Structure 1
Amino acid sequence: MKKGILFSMGSLILGTIFAQNNVNANKFKQLKEELATPNVYRTASGAPGHEYYQQKADYVINVELDDAKQIVKGDESITYKNNSPDKLDYLWIQLDQNMRAKDSDTKKVDTKNIDKKMSFAELAEMHNQFDGGFKLDYVKDGSGKDLKYTINKTMMRIDLPKPLLPGSTATLKLKWWYNVNNRDEIGGRSGYEYFEEEDNYLYTIAQFYPRMAVYNEVEGWQNKQFLGSGEFTLTFGDYKVNITVPSDHIVGATGTLTNASSVLTSEQRSRFSKAQNEYVNPVMIVTQEEAEEIEKKKADGTKTWSFSATNVRDFAFASSRKFIWDAMAVEYNGKKTLAMSYYPKEGNPLWEQYSTKVVAHTIESYSRHTCDYPYPAAISVHSKSIGMEYPMICFNGGRPNKDGTYSERTKYAMIGVIIHEVGHNFFPMIINSDERQWTWMDEGLNTFTQYMCEQEWERGYPSRRGPAYKIVDYMKGDKKGISPIMTNSESILQFGNNAYGKPATALNILRETVMGRELFDFAFKTYAERWKFKHPTPADFFRTMEDASGVDLDWFWRGWFYTTDHVDIAINNVEWFKIDTKDPQVEKAFEKEMEARIKFKGDENNKEFIKETYNEKDPSINDFYNSYDPFEVLLIDEVDYKKYLKKLDEKDLEILNGDYNYYNISFENKGGLVMPLILNFTFKDGSTEEVRIPAEIWRRNNYNVTKAFFFEKEMVSVELDPWLETADTDMNNNNWPPKMLPSKFDLYKSKKYGWGADGRENPMQRLKKNEELKNKTEKE
């Protein structure tokens, strides 16, 4: 302040400021050392470089589903195009079904322990001797000659008789079969569900054929073993797939059905054609009544369904005689696709009411936030409790009770999983990140976009992940059980929180608090457009978000993605200052008021216990100071004040007479994760003011910072992170004056239920019982 003199009106210390051992470890250090050096393939801006390349793998597959033995068998022809500048002496193939082989590493490295209480199902899983994995009949080249190959667990190396030169193609022919797993017994992303009452099966089939691994300039061959967590990194290509199934089965699959006249009735084709232009309610292609009739008996013979798909990274299908099938069109950004659902009667009434409309909504929402959906169809298949994604098709849980009722939790869990799995069409089926390395790049980005989609479905939608406060319990947990987001998929601790919840929360904080929606949305969409149908890395995402927004986010990526720090910022100290106006009338009255506020218990007790002081007995000892009033305004005080005013200019006088309130507020970063400071001030007149301070306020000291504020009004309180935006793990140190927040606890730990039909009475059932009781009472 230019010529004013400040004095303290008092301070409140909320905690002891302690020295941090690593106070000089700059959390705003740039990420250059952690990120790959930009090159001709991937630029410093996060965009593909002018020499970016990717390989291509086209497939022709003939596959047969043996419904009597639960076997899938088939043959395939792969045309592999080497678009890299490198000559390739061998090719790598993924054999992901081999993780179910009896001698697989997945079983060997499993660390489940025997508990004192074990269920029969848990023990049965240990006893299970399922004979999974691919059985290869042959591996040949395009001319039918045997190729030398080596199987290394879930990977197979094919040695080429001569190197595959840049720009050249190689043709591979493979024949194989495998036993399909029962998902209820041993789990799995694909497999079958058995319906004992009708002796029927519902198949959701994926990872069913040997698939080309990715080769690029980042990893070379991506040939990391599949242990179960890190999913699938795949090459784009075109597919022609012929699927032979029992003649009464309905098949849904990746791609476009090319022989509808051979496998659908004329009525089904008519309904399917009508669905192409129905945008409000799904058209029933196979009704529940028709499906129930079909599942009562098994027809003889087989049918072959033929599908084609262009520029996809994978192929999956579902098959059952139990399927109800409905479809409707969805428009987005001047484009159009078909939303479809396949589900057994056990999924109704939930699935008929919601599934296809949720698919349509997801396609429209994601296309707005990322890139336009490019494919002719998007399919949701009901398969009890599984949730898994493939191009154009996904398998989703959410089953009502047998009486047709369902809990609110089941309803929203079903809608949520459909949004999530359909959303995976964008991450990673189109924006094709490396799932085997970085789970968060598909699961985290997708969970974040899922949150936006859910909120656009229904106001107040009970999203599981996204809002900052929902990640607090994880962030403040024991660091021994937490790994950084930037951890390889197979090594992640707390998979759901790490790969889904934390990155989704981080992006939501970026959008709402750090960057703002306009900057974030532009940058996020730029990333999607840049990397659609390509293979992005974390560096490409980080760099694009900064490049397209003009916001330096290295501090954010470092803290949220590379460390296990958490957010716990405290208001440690508040000091209130007023200007010394030099006006004796004002200042001496103020000093008198301040002295009157001092209450010392001893003084009060002395009035009672000391009957008479010495000077009361002998007034002769009193002098000038016994009668002097330090608060009396003297004439000389007034003269000095006028002299002081003559020295000030107009700006000085404006400040001096402004009656402003000045505050020093000290903040402590207890959790280690630097974040913006969002403050809500409340004033004496009841009004409030929000102040937002960027995270860069911590740039010179990671752990302690003091910020000066001034207001015309007198502050009575201040709250840090009032809208729960930063995932602060301790809200008890976020207020001045201090305000303790109650923590609630349960008296009893109740049984945990899954998100499907959970066996508990739901409100629909209770209302039904109420109506029955009401009718009974009326009759009586």
Structure 2
Amino acid sequence: MAQTPASASTTASAPAGQVMAPASAGAVAADIPFVSADAANFQVPSAPDAWGGPRGDHPATLSDQVVGYTIQATLDPARHTVDAKQTMTWRNRSNQPVSKIYLHLYLNAFEGPGSTFFTERRLFSGSGHSRGNADLKKGEWGYIELNKVQQGGQNVSWRFVQPDGGPKTDRTVVELDLPQAVPAQGTLSLDIDFHDQLPRVVERTGWFGDFHLVGQWFPKIAVLELPGERGATAPRWNAHEFHFHSEFYADYGNYDVQLTVPKGYTVGAVGEQQGTPVESGGKVTHHFVQTDVEDFAWVAAPGYKVQRTSWTGPGSPKVDVQVIYPPEYEASAQPVLKATTDSLTYFSDTLGPYPYRTITAVVPPYNAGEAGGMEYPTFFTAEGYDKVTPDTLTQYAIDFVTIHEFGHGYFMGLLGSNEFEEPMLDEGMNQYWDDRMLVDRKQDIWVTTPLLSKLGFAPQLTPFEAERLSGVVGIGVPADSLDSNSWDRMSSNSYGSVYARTAATMRTLENLLGHEVMGKAMKLYYERWKFRHPDAADLRDALAEGSGQPELVHAIFASQVYGTDKVDASVVSIDNEEQVPRTGTVIRDGKRVTLSAKDVDKQIDDARAAWDKAHKDARHGGPYPWLSTITVRRTGAAVPRTVLVKFADDSSETVKWDDASRWKRISFTRPAKAVSATVDPDRKIVLDANSLNDSRTIKADGAASRRWSADVASFFQTFYALMGTL
């Protein structure tokens, strides 16, 4: 589906009431191409000076600030509209003039069935569960209109383009012809008046009743990537359409936003509120400012309550923490607040200090669940329950979603991952670190319901066991690599597997490297690439350097991040042979002697009788040793493993299997025979596709049934999680 910029452009008629200015005829700057429409699987590390080079910890050096947005917006809750004036400044980081820029108009994904979003939604329907499947009716669609765009008082012309070759009816990316080219290293300032018609909540953003979650609502400039950044060899525009399976990517910058809403509305937003809200004419204006972030979103709803606390940690400023929630979900407010402060502590300790002064969590109302589980800098949406009972799925779900959405503030926010092209770096790595936090705090999943609990059926499993089932066992051989982009995938399930399969891959790597070693390597990744938009190769190289085991890290990335290798190993057989005398000829005293069956039987009987007499209390053993041969086999990637062999005398031996062989025979000559063999006895390889073939025994052994039980428990967990999304 790759497409050149020339064939991607289409001219759109002006919106109703808008006279489009003629395109500039005197531009001398060469057009900058789009990044490939199928960009994915980044294996080239970024340059050391990419994105302004490594960042410091001082507020003045957090990010290489590229953009600035000053916005005055007014919400009309009856019509579900936002009217706004925006001044956008943008710094041209390249060494060439820029005469065309590209803006994302994300809300146009919801304007009608011809958008890329809805076209792909129809394609992917039936290929796995996905959010965003609600049907919109008349009066529930959403869109954004540009009413005026000016540069220095001159009108700017624009046209809609489809950089990824989507339908010509998609209007989520707009190309602007600038009357005055932005010189190399120069700054652009645009004045934009725009109008939003918010959709009913279908995915991420919109309204339900008088609740308004306003996300991806303003014209946002695309990212101009330079050579040495995420594999670029020349300047290119990263300006993808809004796909069904896609999120976002933007430059770091500063936001100064004034939000005017009716009196009585509770308002929360990205950043710090400035002073006391100003009331005038039955409306109230709230002023928010935040630096060094890539996005701005907000919520407004009447009658919503707020719970607040504060948090402090080494290297961080004092953080004001708040949860905004509807009265029907008051039971969720305190658990969300606690999970948020716990997350602040864990992520700050294990990755790096939280640098902002605020964090706001929003619990959407009943029937607006698709607004839940969404992330923005310093601001996210959680899930709501009218009852939260400890040690139940509701408790786990509310904790997990809160931790997950907070965690995006690091992997999407502070690291600036490109969620368009590398969802693994955000959704997947975040899922891994969330699970790690839950395991470290010893919070397992209770796979039960109140009824089953009364019946005494309340199994537990760890978060990574659940990830293994849904992301490894549940998909078989992956259809797409982990570092594939978000939209060019075989199915919704393939996109969804990014979460669990990345978590399973990284946990496997952690188990092989060691918990502390992996933690050290992840800290290096964060410190090196915070505020700098890394790619998968940057993650790979940081983990390789930080762990001191580059060969292992590169092998895992080759087979799992860039490849689709299945991971499985099995014990094929256990063969035991007692090393007793045999018939045939032997050399004794320099002469060849032939032993008959009668001779051998007598020799064996005499040896056994003598041994039994000398070892009356022995439970195992005999006069002759045993040759035990264990055959193991790999299917797919050559992930290092150990093989544990147990013997009849209760002794055991562990052998490393860390070469690339497809199969291996392991032999022992010992007093007792082998009775069982297990590959990966410590269950380090979370990526293992079939745990039932991991061991073999020559006598009854409950290990296989215990592994089977773990998979069944994982099934129930996945089942209940699915039921909760319906």
What is the TM-score normalised by the length of structure 1? 0.69
The alignment status of 1:314 with 2:314, answered yes or no, reads no
Gaps in structure 2 of 5+ consecutive residues:
1-40, 56-62, 127-131, 162-170, 447-459, 584-593, 608-622
| Counterpart pick for 2:363 among 371, 378, 382 | 382
- Which residue of the partner structure matches residue 156 of structure 1? 174
- Which residue of the partner structure matches residue 547 of structure 1? 545
Gaps in structure 1 of 5+ consecutive residues:
1-32, 116-120, 195-200, 264-298, 581-586, 593-623, 638-657, 760-780
SS in 1 for 2:217: coil
Structure-1 separation of matches of 2:670 and 2:205: 63
The alignment status of 1:665 with 2:630, answered yes or no, reads yes
Structure-1 separation of matches of 2:642 and 2:77: 61
The percent of aligned pairs where both chains have the same amino acid is 22
> In structure 2, do the counterparts of structure 1 residues 677 and 503 end up closer, same or farther at CA, with 3 Å as the change threshold?
same
| Counterpart pick for 2:109 among 71, 96, 99 | 99
Instruction: Output one character per residue of 1:270-304: Cα deviation in whole Å (capped at 9) or x when no partner.
Output: xxxxxxxxxxxxxxxxxxxxxxxxxxxxx971000
Structure-to-structure mapping, 1:517-666, within 5 angstroms: 517-551=515-549, 552=551, 553-576=553-576, 629-630=599-600, 663-666=628-631
SS in 1 for 2:121: coil
- Which residue of the partner structure matches residue 274 of structure 2? 258
- Which residue of the partner structure matches residue 341 of structure 1? 323
- Which residue of the partner structure matches residue 170 of structure 1? 188
Structure-2 separation of matches of 1:481 and 1:736: 27
SS in 2 for 1:555: helix
> In structure 2, do the counterparts of structure 1 residues 170 and 659 end up closer, same or farther at CA, with 3 Å as the change threshold?
farther
Letter matched to residue 668 of structure 1: R
Structure-2 separation of matches of 1:376 and 1:308: 11
> In structure 2, do the counterparts of structure 1 residues 86 and 371 end up closer, same or farther at CA, with 3 Å as the change threshold?
farther
Letter matched to residue 689 of structure 2: T
Structure-to-structure mapping, 1:698-737, within 5 angstroms: 698=660, 701=661, 703-708=662-667, 715-726=674-685, 727-737=687-697
SS in 1 for 2:393: helix
Instruction: Output one character per residue of 1:159-203: Cα deviation in whole Å (capped at 9) or x when no partner.
Output: 2233322321010111111211222xxx11011222xxxxxx122
> Would you say the 8 A contact 2:121–2:244 is kept in 1?
no
> Would you say the 8 A contact 2:478–2:494 is kept in 1?
no
Structure-to-structure mapping, 1:118-267, within 5 angstroms: 125=135, 130-141=140-151, 143-152=152-161, 153-183=171-201, 187-194=202-209, 201-217=210-226, 218=231, 220-260=236-276, 262=278
CA shift for structure 1 position 686: 2.9
Instruction: Output one character per residue of 1:627-649: Cα deviation in whole Å (capped at 9) or x when no partner.
Output: 96345679xx9xxxxxxxxxxxx
- Which residue of the partner structure matches residue 450 of structure 2? none
- Which residue of the partner structure matches residue 120 of structure 2? 109
Structure-2 separation of matches of 1:489 and 1:168: 33
- Which residue of the partner structure matches residue 400 of structure 2? 416
Instruction: Output one character per residue of 1:671-711: Cα deviation in whole Å (capped at 9) or x when no partner.
Output: x12222233332333355555543xx11xx4x223345576
Letter matched to residue 485 of structure 1: L
- Which residue of the partner structure matches residue 398 of structure 1? 384
SS in 2 for 1:250: strand
Structure-1 separation of matches of 2:256 and 2:323: 22
> Would you say the 8 A contact 1:523–1:545 is kept in 2?
yes
CA shift for structure 1 position 399: 2.0
CA shift for structure 1 position 379: 1.1
> Would you say the 8 A contact 1:400–1:410 is kept in 2?
no
> In structure 2, do the counterparts of structure 1 residues 135 and 704 end up closer, same or farther at CA, with 3 Å as the change threshold?
same
- Which residue of the partner structure matches residue 36 of structure 1? 44
CA shift for structure 1 position 234: 0.6
Structure-2 separation of matches of 1:251 and 1:464: 39
Structure-to-structure mapping, 1:339-488, within 5 angstroms: 339-351=321-333, 353-384=334-365, 385=369, 386-400=372-386, 408-461=392-445, 466-468=463-465, 470-472=467-469, 474-476=471-473, 482-488=479-485
Structure-2 separation of matches of 1:676 and 1:100: 48
CA shift for structure 1 position 73: 1.4
> Would you say the 8 A contact 2:82–2:196 is kept in 1?
yes
> Would you say the 8 A contact 1:466–1:501 is kept in 2?
no
CA shift for structure 1 position 497: 4.0
> Would you say the 8 A contact 2:45–2:535 is kept in 1?
no
- Which residue of the partner structure matches residue 642 of structure 1? none
> Would you say the 8 A contact 1:399–1:757 is kept in 2?
no
Report the count of equivalent residues: 598
Instruction: Output one character per residue of 1:226-250: Cα deviation in whole Å (capped at 9) or x when no partner.
Output: 1232111011001110000111112
CA shift for structure 1 position 323: 1.5
> In structure 2, do the counterparts of structure 1 residues 400 and 211 end up closer, same or farther at CA, with 3 Å as the change threshold?
same
> In structure 2, do the counterparts of structure 1 residues 757 and 749 end up closer, same or farther at CA, with 3 Å as the change threshold?
closer
> Would you say the 8 A contact 1:397–1:414 is kept in 2?
yes
CA shift for structure 1 position 319: 1.2
SS in 2 for 1:58: strand
> In structure 2, do the counterparts of structure 1 residues 306 and 478 end up closer, same or farther at CA, with 3 Å as the change threshold?
closer
> Would you say the 8 A contact 1:149–1:158 is kept in 2?
yes
Aligned-pair Cα RMSD in Å: 3.8
Structure-1 separation of matches of 2:498 and 2:409: 18
> In structure 2, do the counterparts of structure 1 residues 114 and 315 end up closer, same or farther at CA, with 3 Å as the change threshold?
closer
Structure-2 separation of matches of 1:215 and 1:464: 45
Structure-1 separation of matches of 2:598 and 2:299: 98
- Which residue of the partner structure matches residue 486 of structure 2? 489
Letter matched to residue 155 of structure 1: V
Letter matched to residue 299 of structure 2: A
CA shift for structure 1 position 376: 0.4
CA shift for structure 1 position 338: 1.9
- Which residue of the partner structure matches residue 304 of structure 2? 323
Structure-2 separation of matches of 1:140 and 1:483: 43
> In structure 2, do the counterparts of structure 1 residues 40 and 341 end up closer, same or farther at CA, with 3 Å as the change threshold?
closer
Letter matched to residue 685 of structure 1: D
- Tell which has more relative contact order, 1 or 2 (C-alpha 8 A, sep 6+): 1
Structure-2 separation of matches of 1:450 and 1:683: 40
Structure-1 separation of matches of 2:337 and 2:467: 29
Structure-to-structure mapping, 1:283-298, within 5 angstroms: none
